[in-house]
Structure 1
Amino acid sequence: MSGNLLSIGKSGLFAAQTALSTTGHNITNANVEGYSRQGVVQATSTAMETGVGFTGTGTKVAEIKRYSDDFLNNQVRTATASGSSLNAYYAQISQIDNLLADTESGLSPAIQNFFSAVQDVTGNGASIPSRQALLSSSETLAASFQQIDARLEEIGDGVNSQIETNVNLINTYAKQIAEINSKIGSYGSIEQRQPNDLLDQRDQLVMELNKHVKATVTAGTNNALNVSIGNGQPLVVGQQAFQLATIKTPTDLTRVTVGYVTGDKVTALPENAVSGGELGGLLEFRNGTLDRVQNSIGRLAIGMAFTVNAQHKLGIDGGGQQGKDFFVQAPAYVAAAVDNASTSTAKVGAVVSDPTQLTDSDYKVESDGSSFYVTRLSDNKRTKVDPYDANGTTRTIDGVDFTISGTAASGDNYLVRPTAYGASGFQLALTDVGQIAAGTPIATSAPIANKGTGLISAGSVSASYFAAPPALPVSLSYDSSAGGQLTGFPAGATVTMTLNGTTTTHTGGSAPFKAGASYSFSGVNITMSGVPSNGDSFSINANVAGTADTRNIQALGALQTKNIFNGGSATYQSAFAQTVSAVGNKTREVQVNASAGEALLKQVQGAASDVSGVNLDEEATNLLKYQQAYQAAGKVMQIANTIFDTLLSIGR
């Protein structure tokens, strides 16, 4: 009997000792990140049958239980991945927001100063200092475009570097998770004998992994965890870890993207497939904001160069020569994928032809082996180039002339970025004040001898004027017969008359006179008004006073308020303001979502901590409880020893 009692006391002693050790383990690891509270689960030992019933034989430790909830842990992982993504996005976009919002030395004041200098030349046509100030403000404008683009490129380089860092960390975590899977598997699959501390370490590694990329976790064999990312690409399967790599994109070697390693081959992953975590946030920022802002600023630069150049070339400089390009317009970026077939003879070109139709998107030109397709990457709108002539086909899409020739293999593709480098390539083309084409090549006049009130406008020219200039002077006369005609137009010219939006054409050297009507012929544009008398004449002459004439520079200044972008609905300033507003709104959106994400993360972490966290007050209570249990079990053993000694003394 005393032997049984001794065994019972010993089992209680061992159980209490295990509970004390477990409680002490909880207390000392209370501040360890990822540690889950453990507890001793006791069970009654098998009872012994006696003639009068079953006698207990003590207790046993059935399990060292780890308190952890997989559902709550998964919520924490998901919230962690989302929060890290938003924080990474916000850290990057806030830089662009601060860059564009500069109201003192940013792009907006530079545009305003440029047009102020244009207006100054308009009012002081012959002033050399005014023209010199115009060149200086133009150089400042070009520098502003280039500085913004340089800063955006710098941010892009930083994103490349952070992508490489995140990929290295992801690979490290994958290896460590696979190693712990191996260690856990070596202990077998008995549920009650789990290496709790290793399970905590593995869960914490998975949690850290989710700070860098959203990882999906599934249970594997032999207590292993399988981890996958993206569209199901395995990262850890049992004891095997797969690897990611950073590679240059096939169509832009300055750009780093994520690849998946299979054997000795690296396959680029679609960037929109890698979501969550810092890596997902960086990729989303680059595609969703950085590229679009760079394209938007480039679109503004290209549109400004295009329209200013077009107007400037309609004037004459101080030497009477046709104006040249005022600004350098950057060409579109076109690159063939480095893995295109070596047998391909295809060539792709792109030229901006209509800035009013430009978008902020990049484009992909691809071949299926027989046809070519142009895909707008912002919304994946696909346009087939049909019909196609291998000798050369031009297709205009969104204000860009895509020129494609030759043949290509199926899968060959080309990246076209029409506006990406518009800001970096924006420069002042003029080198001397004498090259400023402020004047208009024609001048109009009406003799004071005219008897009526008819007037002729100062006149302007279109691009066709310089292609085939008409013989000047041209003298127009008003003939009141037959309803009133303007005669004297060049005999071979077609005269286009526009009145109240209605256009008619006339030949034979004459056209009806209508007050308020505009007349165009051979690139010359005039407007008539008033009521002329029969025989009144009007002259159109070559301008010989170009140094003081500012009609063309005045027309150039009018571009400031002209709706050019977005299908003719936005000026230079408003187009830039839309970009600033879009970035500001997105920044605020990401900031608010990041704050909400932090609150959600704290909430789910709290719920998980309620299950797995260590409460020091509770553990202190447990210490006292198990100490008393230990002492009581010792007392049982002491009584058993006393009984045994009594039995021995009887037998003496």
Structure 2
Amino acid sequence: MSGNLLSIGKSGLFAAQAGLSTTGHNIANANVAGYNRQTVVQSTAPMMETGVGFIGTGTQIDQIKRYSDEFLNTQVRNAQASKSGLDSYYSQISQIDNMLADQTAGLSPSLQSFFKGVQDMAANRGSVPSRQSMLSSADTLATRFQALDSRLGEIREGINSTIESSITTINSYASQIADLNEKIGTFASAMQRAPNDLLDKRDQLVMELNTQVKATVRPGDNGSLTVSIGSGQPLVVGQRAFELAATKSPTDLTRLEVGYVTGSKVSVLGENALSGGTLGGALEFRSKTLDPAQSALGKVAIGLAFEFNQQHKLGLDQNGAPGGDFFSLAPAYVGKNINNASTSTTKVEAVVSNPAALADSDFKVEFDGTDYQVIRLSDNQKTAYTGAGAAQTIYGVDFKITGTAAKEDNFLVRPTIGGAANFNVLVKDVAGIAAAAPIATSAPVGNTGTAKISEGKVDANFLGGAPALPVTLSFDKASGNLTGFPAGTVRVVDSTGAASTVPSGSVQFKAGSTYTFGGISVTMSGAPGDGDTFKIASNGGGIGDTRNIGLLGDLQTKNIFNNGTATLQSSYAQLVSTVGNKTREVQVNGQAGEALLTQAQAAAQDVSGVNLDEEATNLIKYQQAYQAAGKVMQIAGSIFDTLLSIGR
């Protein structure tokens, strides 16, 4: 009987000792990240039949239980991936937001200063100091465009660095998780028990993996975990770890993409394939904010250069020569896919020809085996290229495709992304500013009527189809017609805005009407006398005439973009607003994500976290159990000694 009592005391002693060790282990690791509290699970030892009933034989330890709720852990991992992604996005977009909206570093002050210089030149009759001031403000504007684009380029390089470092970290985590899968599987096979501390370490690695990219976790064979990312690409399967690699974009060698390594082949994952974490946030920022922002800035630069050049060419400089391009107009970026067939000789050229029709999107030019398709990437809208080697305008961009191609050969076209970087002032001499208009109008003092002719304007048609000058218009009172127009037709817009096109030989005079022919427009007012004449001649020189520079100044308020609904300033303001709103959105979502993560962590800690007060109570409980079990063994020893003394 004493032997049974001794065995019972011994089992209790071992159980209390295990409880003390486990409780001490919990206390020692209370501040270790990823540690899950453990507890001793006991059960009654097999009972013994005595003939008069069953007598207990003590206790036994069934397992050291680890408290961990996979459902709550999944919530924490998802919340962590979301918050890390938003933090990564915000840290990048806040830089752009601060830069664009800055009252000194942003574009708006330079844009306003430039047009002020243009208007001051018009007001000062094109004096040399005003011309120099206007040219200096143009240089300042060009410098500002280039500086903003350069800063965006630095941020883009930073994204490349983030991609490389995140991929290195992800690969390291994958390797460590695979190693732990192997160790845990070995213990599970040999001892039919999972090593709790290794499970904690593996779960913590998976949690840290989610700070880099959102990962999906599923149980595998023999206690292992299967970890996948993106759209299901496996990262860890059992004891095998797969790798990611930073690889250059096939259509832009300066741009790093995320590649998935399978054997010796690296497959580029799409921009939207990975989400969450530092890596997912950086990729999303680049595709949804950085690329559009740089393209929008380039769009403003290209729109300004295009419209300013068009009007500048309609003027005369101080030497009496027609104006040329004032600003450089950047061509579209065209990236040939490095995987195109080696036999392909296709060449794609693209340049903006109509800023008003520009779509806020990049394009993909692809050969489908029969035709070239221009695909708008914002919505995958396809437009067939039918130019046969000549320029074809699609969404405000002139595409010119030559050469031969193999099926699925493709090119990336970004119409405006290089606009700001390549925005330069081409006119270097103040005398080269085409401030004057190319025509001059006059009316003889001998006219008998009160009719007057305006200074006149020219449009783009004047460059290629100007009539022989001078043109002398005469009024015939009998018919009420103006004669002397060059052969062809004349467009007449009366004072009410009603327009009509009539043969040049039957143009009636109406006070307040504007007459357009050969790219020239003049407005007539008053009442002409019979035989009164009005002369339209070439301008003799560009000194003192600032009619064209005045029209250049009007471009500040001209609706250039979005089908003629947005000015330069409003288009830039839209960019600032878009980035600002997105920044605020990401910031608010980040704060919400942090709160969600805190709640998820708290819920998980309620299950798996170590409560030091509870553990202190357990210490006292197990201490008392240990002392009581020792007392049982002491009593059993006393009984055994008594039995031995009786035998003597």
Task: Name the amino acid aligned to 1:212.
Answer: Q
Q: How far apart are 1:518 and its partner, in Å?
A: 1.5
| Residue matched to 2:646 | 650
2:577 corresponds to 1:581 = yes
Q: Supply the AA of the counterpart residue of 1:288.
A: K
Match for residue 623 of structure 1? Answer: 619
Q: Say which SS state the counterpart of residue 563 (structure 2) adopts.
A: helix
Cα distance between partner residues in 1 of 2:252 and 2:126: 48
1:508 Cα deviation from its structure 2 partner? 4.8
Is residue 470–residue 522 contact of structure 1 (8 Å, CA) maintained in 2? Answer: yes
Task: State yes or no: 1:439 paired with 2:436.
Answer: yes
Q: Which residue of structure 2 aligns with residue 515 of structure 1?
A: 511
Matching of residues 86-97 of structure 1 within 5 Å: 86-97=86-97
Q: Find the residue that maps to 1:514 and give its secondary structure.
A: coil
Corresponding position of 1:412: 409
CA distance in 2, matches of 1:35, 1:224: 18
Q: State the Cα distance separating 1:177 from its structure 2 match.
A: 0.1
Q: Distance in 2 between matches of 1:475 and 1:392?
A: 44
Aligned position for 1:560:
556
Q: Distance in 2 between matches of 1:190 and 1:372?
A: 63
Structure-to-structure mapping, 1:409-488, within 5 angstroms: 409-482=406-479, 484-488=480-484
Q: Which moved more, 1:602-611 or 1:453-462?
A: 453-462
Is the partner of 1:326 in helix, strand or coil? Answer: coil
Residue in structure 2 matching 1:498, options 493, 499, 503: 493
| Aligned residue number for residue 353 of structure 1 | 353
How many angstroms apart in 2 are the aligned matches of 1:313 and 1:493? 25
Runs of 4+ residues deviating >6 angstroms = none
For residues 541 and 175 of structure 2, the distance between their equivalents in structure 1, rounded to whole angstroms, comes to 80
Q: In structure 2, how many angstroms separate the alpha carbons of the residues matched to 1:540 and 1:382?
A: 48
Structure-2 separation of matches of 1:620 and 1:190: 34
Change (3 A) 1:312 1:393: closer
CA contact (8 A) 2:5 2:633 kept: yes
Rounded to whole Å, the distance in 2 between the matches of 1:75 and 1:89 is 21
Query: For each residue in 1:336-358, what CA deviation from the matched residue of structure 2 results, as whole angstroms up to 9, or x when unmatched?
Result: 10110112232211121100111
| C-alpha distance in 2 between matches for 1:96 and 1:41 | 57
SS at match of 2:569: helix
Contact 2:330 2:351 in 1 (8 A): no
Q: For residues 372 and 552 of structure 1, do their structure 2 counterparts lie closer, same or farther at Cα, with a shift above 3 Å needed?
A: same
Matching residue's letter, 2:485: F
The alpha-carbon deviation at position 567 of structure 1 amounts to 1.0
Q: Distance in 2 between the 1:75 and 1:634 partners? A: 46
Partner of 1:309 in structure 2? 309
- Give the deviation of 1:363 after TM superposition: 0.8
1:43 aligns with: 43
Following superposition, the deviation at residue 378 of structure 1 comes to 2.1
CA contact (8 A) 1:64 1:192 kept: no
- Percent of aligned pairs with the same amino acid: 64
1:532 pairs with 2:489: no
The answer (yes or no) to whether the contact 1:493–1:522 under 8 Å persists in 2 is no
Contact between 2:315 and 2:436, CA under 8 Å: does it hold in 1?
yes
The amino acid of 1:624's aligned partner reads I
The RMSD of aligned alpha carbons is: 1.4
Q: Is the contact between residue 243 and residue 260 of structure 1 (CA under 8 Å) also seen in structure 2?
A: yes
Contact 1:189 1:223 in 2 (8 A): no
Q: Select between 111-120 and 345-354 the one with higher mean Cα deviation.
A: 345-354
Per-residue CA deviation, residues 379-430 of structure 1 (Å, 9 max, x unaligned), is: 3223233xx46x4154322211122233322221100011000000000010
The corresponding residue for 2:629 is: 633
Counterpart of 2:26, as a letter, is: N
Deviation at 1:227, TM superposition (A): 0.2
Separation in structure 1 between the aligned mates of residue 294 and residue 411 of structure 2, nearest angstrom = 19
**Partner Cα separation in structure 1 for residue 41 and residue 106 of structure 2:** 68
Query: How much does 1:173 deviate?
Result: 0.1
Kindly tell me: are residues 118 and 508 of structure 1, through their superposed partners in 2, closer, same or farther at Cα, counting changes over 3 Å?
closer
Is residue 373–residue 382 contact of structure 2 (8 Å, CA) maintained in 1? yes
Unmatched segments (≥5 aa) in structure 1 = none
Deviations 1:93-137 (A, max 9, x none): 000000001112421010101111111110112410100001000
In the TM superposition, 1:178-577 aligns within 5 A as 178-189=178-189, 193-385=193-385, 388=386, 391-482=388-479, 484-490=480-486, 492-499=487-494, 500-577=496-573
CA distance in 1, matches of 2:377, 2:464: 38
SS in 2 for 1:228: strand
Instruction: Give the match's secondary structure for 1:236.
Output: strand
Q: Secondary structure of the residue that 1:481 maps to in structure 2? A: coil
TM-superposition CA deviations, 1:297-327 (whole Å, max 9, x none): 0000000000000000000011110001111
Superposed displacement of residue 189, structure 1:
5.0
Letter in structure 2 aligned against 1:440: A
Structure 2 distance, partners of 1:190, 1:65, is 18
Alignment partners' CA distance in 2, 1:160 and 1:357:
33
TM-aligned CA deviation for residue 535 of structure 1: 1.8
Alignment deviations for residues 226-268 of structure 1 (CA, whole Å, 9 cap, x no partner)? 0000010000000000000000000100000100000001000
The one-character-per-residue Cα deviations of 1:203-239 (angstroms, maximum 9, x if unpaired) are 0000000000000000000000000000100000000
Kindly provide the CA deviation profile for residues 416-450 of structure 1, in whole angstroms up to 9, marking residues without a partner as x.
Answer: 01100000000001010000100011111122332
Report if the CA contact (8 A) 1:488-1:510 is conserved.
no
Q: Which residue, out of 590, 596, 614, partners 2:592?
A: 596
How far is the alpha carbon of 1:183 from its aligned partner?
0.1
Number of equivalenced pairs = 647
Aligned mates of 1:154, 1:220 — CA distance in 2:
43
Change over 3 Å in CA distance of 1:90–1:584 after alignment to 2: same
Q: Deviations over 1:628-651 (max 9, x none)?
A: 000000000000000101111111
- Summarize deviations over 1:23-64 as a string: whole Å, max 9, x none: 000000000000000000000000001110111000000110
Other-structure match for 1:56? 56
Per-residue deviation at 1:510?
Answer: 4.5
Q: Structure 1 pair 393/522, CA: closer, same or farther in 2 (3 Å)? A: closer
Q: 2: CA distance between counterparts of 1:600 and 1:502?
A: 63
Contact 2:337 2:410 in 1 (8 A): yes
Distance 2:537 2:286 in 1: 56
SS at match of 1:427: coil
Contact 2:194 2:223 in 1 (8 A): no
TM-score calculated relative to the size of structure 2? 0.98
From the superposition, tell whether residues 150 and 50 of structure 1 become closer, same or farther in structure 2 (CA, over 3 Å).
same
State whether residues 160 and 255 of structure 1, in contact with CA within 8 Å, keep that contact through their aligned partners in structure 2: yes
Q: Distance in 2 between matches of 1:455 and 1:54?
A: 129
- Separation in structure 2 between the aligned mates of residue 149 and residue 114 of structure 1, nearest angstrom: 18
**SS of structure 2 residue aligned to 1:428:** coil
Cα deviation digits, residues 130-179 of structure 1 (max 9, x gap): 00001000000000000000000000000000100000000000000000
- The AA in structure 1 aligned to 2:7 is S
- Equivalent residue letter for 1:194: A
Shift of 1:496: 2.2
In 1, are the aligned partners of 2:99 and 2:105 still within 8 Å (CA)?
Answer: no
Q: Which runs of 5+ in 2 are unaligned?
A: none
* Alignment partner, residue 65 of structure 1: 65
Question: Cα deviation per residue 1:452-476 (whole Å; 9 max; x = unaligned)?
Answer: 2212110011233233443222211
Q: Find the residue that maps to 1:554 and give its secondary structure.
A: helix
